[in-house]
Amino acid sequence: MNFPESNMLLQPPSLEDVHHRHTPPPLAEPLLLFEHVSKWYGPVLAMNQVTLELNGGITGLVGANGAGKSTLLRMANGQLKPTLGRVRVRGIDAWHWHARRLVGYCPDADAFYEDHSGRKFVWTMARLCGFDRSESTWRTEAVLERVGMAERADRKLRGYSKGMRQRIKLAQALLHDPELLILDEPLSGIDPIGRQELLEVFRSLASQGKCLLISSHELEALEKLTNHVVIMARGRIAAVGTLQQIRDLLDNHPVSVRIEVGCPRELARLLLAMQEVIAVEVDRPARPGGESISLVVKAHHPKRFFERFGELVIEEQMDVHRLEPLDESAHAILGYLLGGSGKT
Amino acid sequence: MHNLIQLESITRTFGAFTALHDITLALPPGRVGLLGPNGAGKSTLLKILMGLIPPSSGSGRVLEESLGGDRDSQGNWRLRRLIGFMPETDALVPGLSGIEYVALAGELYGMPRREAQRRAHEVLSYLELEEARYRRVEEYSMGMKQRVKLAQALVHDPPVLLLDEPTSGLDPAGRDAMLRLVRTLGTDHGKSVLLSTHLLADVEAVCERVVILAGGRICHQGLVRDLCERRQDRFRLRVQGDTAGFREGLLANGVALLADEDGDWRVAVPSGWANLSFFQLATTNRVVIRSLVRDDETLEELFLRTVGV
Amino acid sequence: MQAQTDTLLRYRPWRGTFRGPLSASFAMARASVKLLLRRRLMWGLFALGLLVFLFFFYAQYLAVWIPNQLTSSDTLRVGVVPVKVNDLTKLLERLSLNGSVHTFGNFFWFQGYVLIIVLALAGSVLVGNDFFHGSLPFYLSKPIGRWHYVLGKCLAIGFFVNLMTTLPALFLWLQAGLLYDWKTYYVDNLDLLAGILGYGLVLTSVLSLLAVTTAILVRQTVPMVMIWMGVFVLLRMMSNWLVDGLNQPAEWKLLDLWNDLYLCGLWCLGAAPETIRPQPQPEFWQAWATIAGVCLACMLYLRKRIQAVDIVS
């Protein structure tokens, strides 16, 4: 990568300053655009007619192993060329090196020079990006600060925990201050504290206007970070949107909702009278020691159901302890979309 | 009946560094989650429990076998026979087929050869690796690798299973399946499970008890449901629609909005609050309540509270 | 008989008596041998080893046949190339293919070249892989000691060492008996049989220990081959150069480990020191001491390394 402004710099400015001196790309173009992209590895079809547009914020990428997530991420970063279709970053072909200055990539593999310190590694990466020595140095310091590794960056990579490695990888992806950050499985194997800190870093990056595309198996963590997900299955994009939107589209799977109220059997009668409700089940206490028995209601047309339920509560002056959709989590949705077989 | 784990002021030092400080612990048989950030002493504790390193001071037992002594002593062999260990690393022997690998594990545990082979078939069938058992282990998918690792820990039918990050690298479906398996082994087949992991949701799905280590000390241990705080005045809310009016309505009624995680709200209600008011406010402001759950402390919050960020 | 049903897919308990850790070592050795036999390269090396054996086998036969059938002035035709019988018998004599001490000594010596590569491969496949792929926790979490692990691996490597050296040497011994007067040969040369077994034992123990050690040290096949070449070829060249070229004392020959093993083997076979070629050679006891030192160093290193392995991260 080559930055035309890199040799004009005398004073180390902040990353943002430099960023604004880019000739701003036409903002009308979407940040990341996949147009009918297919990809074969030999006879293996890894990606089938994928169309996707991203413009900002944090997007989660979920799917089973082998669903094509890594392929998608690598294509967005221009490491792979689509067999059919086009991948564009702000209107530039992702395969072209111009596009790469807009994209930062954080791989899932831990391929490090184990004897280097974190600082030295990031600095080397900065040199590889084409920055001269002094610029590499201040950029290294800036990104290390940004991921919260500035004080810990002098240790050898060999002794790093997974969380620290992840941050170093993130730091090198941020070196050229890209608009789009692509992170492949950044949360795997990190202890809860490290994860919490990493999520904080992601949030702050997003609030600084970066677009993050994060693949992860850890749906609970991902759900905390974002509601907007791309679900892949068998090389296709099975769903895009917020979890709730996606859930509402899955009309053939009625929502199940756990309801705890003071008078469950009374409510069960009223619920059965509703058109949307197709089944009501009286359940044992939600957990041992739970105060009341609960109902598990299955209903079509979730939006209408929740509206009607709200009205019912007010009409009957009911005391609702709990209203919990059981299958609105990314986990449940993924299960439905993949056919629920659980086999990968 | 022996306790699963009984430790009396176990301390372990490595040179000047103290990895475990004065650990005293009594756990009845059951499913236990072992949590802790990196460097908390988890792996040292696991090694002591497997008799691979002796404690520097203190005593303890796992079921009926006492800890301590050289790792290659008779007592520690008996101890390790009680435990089926599933390592975190790949730990496969490339070149062997699934069935050979599991049978080898059985023989290493001391089972007679034919018995080990028979039992390997049995365990692999149980873990749904029946079709794959003659294939080489290095060709397995991630989910199959984890299951064959569980199989090698289960081959000699040990009373204790020690699982180190059993769900790492698995996708959500595979993870579900693995957790279900482990749970069933505990509930239906009487295995004690010691689950060491970074994924707190795994512990919630499998374990009744949890032990949280930090800085070489136990900072919390007990039943999961007792440790997490019950919070009567806190709720998680999810609403659909134009939420601005609803939000103002809540604030006007003295409800504090603690967090807004992308449409997921966490609120604290004033005393004397009736949940009916949520619905009334929602109707007047034309939004729909999709979810209303009491915001009890999750294991993750407990962990972060006790271990501290 | 009573009717009964059984779910196939259910967990079944297992009760039985466990055996000691020694049987675990044997199981490990068995699995390791299986692993190596699945390598195609291994079979290629076997073929090479077999070739050396067949050469000795037929040469020993020829050594008897030629003097009986031809006079020394005859010329044989191998294809179109005329070969003087004299040259041929000279070569055979040089290898002393007469069922004596040096027949077997030479056989072991020549088999060494193939053996080095076999050992490098075996070491990296059996031991190096365990370290490289993190399989060590799999073994060490079992109710066995560290030395049972080493023993299991050594047994497997020893199996291959014997398969390539001792076993064919025994065949040569049997063959020699059949070529000469078998009634007297077998009885007269029982000490040779013991010597062959002794040589095999020395080779097995030293080489398997050394293979395991170097495998733990470098782990991968190619560096393993390089190290073994270094030990056996480079050190030999150096020792020869020192002793023959610079006229240093014969003790420098001790640097050549394969030569040390050869000397120990010849001691087992009962060879007279002055018949050993090339001269000069160090004393037998010096060779023994060197071998013992190498073994001790290996053991110490193994002890240290296996102790330090972390089985839970």
DSSP character at residue B230 = P
Chains that touch A (3 or more CB pairs under 8 A): B
Is B275 touching C (CB cutoff 8 A)?
no
Q: How far is C126 from chain B (nearest CA, A)?
A: 9
In this prediction, residue C116 carries a pLDDT of 83
Average pLDDT over residues B267-291: 86
Best of C6, C12, C14, C136 to substitute, by most chain B Cβ atoms within 10 angstroms, is: C14
In this prediction, residue C71 carries a pLDDT of 66
In this prediction, residue C8 carries a pLDDT of 63
In this prediction, residue B259 carries a pLDDT of 80
In this prediction, residue A285 carries a pLDDT of 56
Average pLDDT over residues A215-231: 86
In this prediction, residue B73 carries a pLDDT of 84
User: Cβ contacts (< 8 Å) between B177 and chain A: which residues?
Assistant: 342
Give the separation between CA C303 and CA C146, rounded to whole angstroms.
Answer: 8
In this prediction, residue A293 carries a pLDDT of 74
SS3 for B82-119 is HEEEECCCCCCCCCCEHHHHHHHHHHHCCCCHHHHHHH
The pLDDT-based confidence of A339 (bands split at 50, 70, 90) is low
Give the least confident one: A145-154, C173-182, C294-303. Answer: C173-182
- Residue pLDDT, tens place only, A247-302: 878 777 788 888 888 788 888 888 888 888 888 888 765 455 555 678 889 888 88
Q: Is residue B170 a contact partner of residue B205, using CB atoms and an 8 Å limit?
A: no
Give the separation between CA A184 and CA C175, rounded to whole angstroms.
Answer: 66
Q: Which amino acid appears at position B171 of this protein?
A: D
Is C31 touching B (CB cutoff 8 A)?
yes
Put simply, whether the predicted model's pTM sits higher than 0.90 gets the answer no
Q: What is the mean pLDDT of chain C?
A: 84
Q: Which has more pLDDT, B123 or A261?
A: B123
Q: For residue B121, with 0-12 CB atoms within 10 Å meaning exposed, 13-18 middle and 19 or more buried, which class applies?
A: middle
In percent, the amount of chain A with pLDDT more than 90 equals 19
The pLDDT-based confidence of A13 (bands split at 50, 70, 90) is very low
User: Cβ contacts (< 8 Å) between B117 and chain C: which residues?
Assistant: none
- Residue pLDDT, tens place only, A197-222: 889 899 999 998 889 999 988 888 88
Q: Is residue B281 a contact partner of residue B252, using CB atoms and an 8 Å limit?
A: no
In this prediction, residue C73 carries a pLDDT of 63
Q: How far is A262 from chain B (nearest CA, A)?
A: 12
Q: Which has more pLDDT, C82 or A340?
A: C82
Best of B290, B299, B304, B305 to substitute, by most chain A Cβ atoms within 10 angstroms, is: B290
- Quick check: A4 pLDDT over 70? no
Give the separation between CA C153 and CA C212, rounded to whole angstroms.
Answer: 7
Closest CB to B126 among C9, C27, C144: C9
In percent, the amount of chain A with pLDDT more than 70 equals 87
In this prediction, residue B123 carries a pLDDT of 92
- Contact criterion met (CB < 8 Å) for B175 and A342: no
In this prediction, residue A12 carries a pLDDT of 46
Give the separation between CA B51 and CA B47, rounded to whole angstroms.
Answer: 6
For C44-69, the DSSP string reads HHHHHHHHHHHHHHHHHHHHHHHHHH
Give ipTM to 2 decimals: 0.84
In this prediction, residue A288 carries a pLDDT of 52
Cα–Cα distances in angstroms (integers) from residue B31 to residues B87, B148, B185, B197, in the given order? 18, 21, 10, 13
Closest CB to B309 among A193, A224, A226: A193
- Quick check: A19 pLDDT over 70? no
Orientation angle between helical segments C166-179 and C146-164, nearest 10 degrees:
30
Q: How far is C142 from chain B (nearest CA, A)?
A: 6
Left, alpha or beta for C270 (phi > 0: left; psi -120 to 50: alpha)? Answer: left
- Quick check: B84 pLDDT over 90? yes
Q: How far is C22 from chain B (nearest CA, A)?
A: 9
Best of A306, A312, A319, A343 to substitute, by most chain B Cβ atoms within 10 angstroms, is: A306
In this prediction, residue A318 carries a pLDDT of 82
Chains that touch C (3 or more CB pairs under 8 A): B
In percent, the amount of chain C with pLDDT more than 70 equals 93
The pLDDT-based confidence of A10 (bands split at 50, 70, 90) is very low
In this prediction, residue A7 carries a pLDDT of 38
Closest CA to A128 of A88, A97, A87, A95: A97
Give the separation between CA B7 and CA A320, rounded to whole angstroms.
Answer: 45
Q: How far is B304 from chain C (nearest CA, A)?
A: 22
In this prediction, residue A73 carries a pLDDT of 92
- Contact criterion met (CB < 8 Å) for C143 and B80: yes
Burial A86-119 (b: 16+ CB within 10 A, else e): ebbbbebebbeeebbbbbbbbbbeeebeeebbbb
In this prediction, residue C302 carries a pLDDT of 86
Which residues, numbered 285 to 304 in chain B, qualify as contacts with chain C under a Cβ-Cβ cut-off of 8 Å?
none
> Which residue has 């190619």 as its token pair?
C222
Closest CB to B108 among C34, C144, C310: C144
Best of C6, C11, C125 to substitute, by most chain B Cβ atoms within 10 angstroms, is: C11
Nearest CA in chain C to B102: C138
Which residues, numbered 86 to 145 in chain B, qualify as contacts with chain C under a Cβ-Cβ cut-off of 8 Å?
87-96, 100, 104-105, 107-113, 115-116, 119, 122, 125-126, 128
Find out whether the peptide bond into C278 is cis, omega within 30 degrees of 0.
yes
Give the separation between CA C73 and CA C86, rounded to whole angstroms.
Answer: 7
Average pLDDT over residues A155-175: 87
User: Cβ contacts (< 8 Å) between B181 and chain A: which residues?
Assistant: none
Q: For residue C277, with 0-12 CB atoms within 10 Å meaning exposed, 13-18 middle and 19 or more buried, which class applies?
A: exposed
How far is C-alpha B309 from the geometric centre of its chain's CA atoms? 21
Nearest CA in chain B to A69: B171
Phi then psi for residue C53, to 5 deg, are -60, -45
- Residue pLDDT, tens place only, C35-79: 999 989 889 999 999 998 998 888 888 887 777 777 666 676 666
In this prediction, residue A9 carries a pLDDT of 36
- Contact criterion met (CB < 8 Å) for B292 and A193: no
- Residue pLDDT, tens place only, B103-121: 999 999 999 999 999 999 9
Do chain A and C touch: 3 or more Cβ pairs under 8 angstroms? Answer: no
Closest CB to B110 among C18, C137, C145: C18
- Quick check: B308 pLDDT over 80? no
- Contact criterion met (CB < 8 Å) for B93 and C135: yes
- Contact criterion met (CB < 8 Å) for A197 and B263: no
The pLDDT-based confidence of B146 (bands split at 50, 70, 90) is very high
Q: Which has more pLDDT, C1 or C234?
A: C234
Strands (E), chain B: 5-14, 17-27, 31-35, 57-62, 65-66, 83-86, 160-164, 192-196, 209-214, 217-223, 234-240, 256-261, 264-268, 288-294
Is C27 touching B (CB cutoff 8 A)?
yes
Give the separation between CA A108 and CA A113, rounded to whole angstroms.
Answer: 15
- Residue pLDDT, tens place only, B40-54: 888 889 989 988 888
Give the separation between CA A222 and CA A217, rounded to whole angstroms.
Answer: 8
Q: Is residue B309 a contact partner of residue A197, using CB atoms and an 8 Å limit?
A: yes
C-alpha Rg value of chain B to the nearest Å: 24
In this prediction, residue B117 carries a pLDDT of 93
The pLDDT-based confidence of A1 (bands split at 50, 70, 90) is very low
How far is C-alpha C40 from the geometric centre of its chain's CA atoms? 19
Nearest CA in chain B to A162: B38
